[in-house]
Amino acid sequence: MTILWCWRCEMEVPMPDDEEIEQTISLRGTGTGADLRERQFGLVLREYERITGFHETNIDALCHHVVLLYGPPCSYCGKPLRTPQAKFCAACMAARRR
């Protein structure tokens, strides 16, 4: 797990690595409960919280809170590039240094 800036959430959040997110997502559809949302995603959100310590309520956030989706930190401002292929930093517009 790594703490990174999330562009969509506009804050730093814990992001699981590949193994952790796979473990979390594998619980999809295994819950119990009265409503469909709880049955489909209740255990996923609880496992994410167990791994990261962060209480997330939006299941869609888990789709983009994955370390591999982001690039290296910007050499100027330090925020992660939006993708591993990014040519410049969207936060400060600095060109990516190779």
pLDDT digits (tens, 9 = 90+) for 51-90: 889 888 888 888 888 888 899 999 999 999 999 999 999 9
Range of the domain at 11: 2-68
| Residue 58 within a domain | yes
How many structural domains compose the chain? Answer: 1
| Residue 73 within a domain | no
Q: How confident is the model at residue 30 (pLDDT cuts 50, 70, 90)?
A: low
| Residue 75 within a domain | no
| Residue 88 within a domain | no
| Residue 38 within a domain | yes
| Residue 85 within a domain | no
Give the pTM. Answer: 0.71
| Residue 83 within a domain | no
* Local structure of 42: helix, strand or coil: helix
| Residue 76 within a domain | no
By CB atoms closer than 10 A (0-12, 13-18, 19+), residue 6 is middle
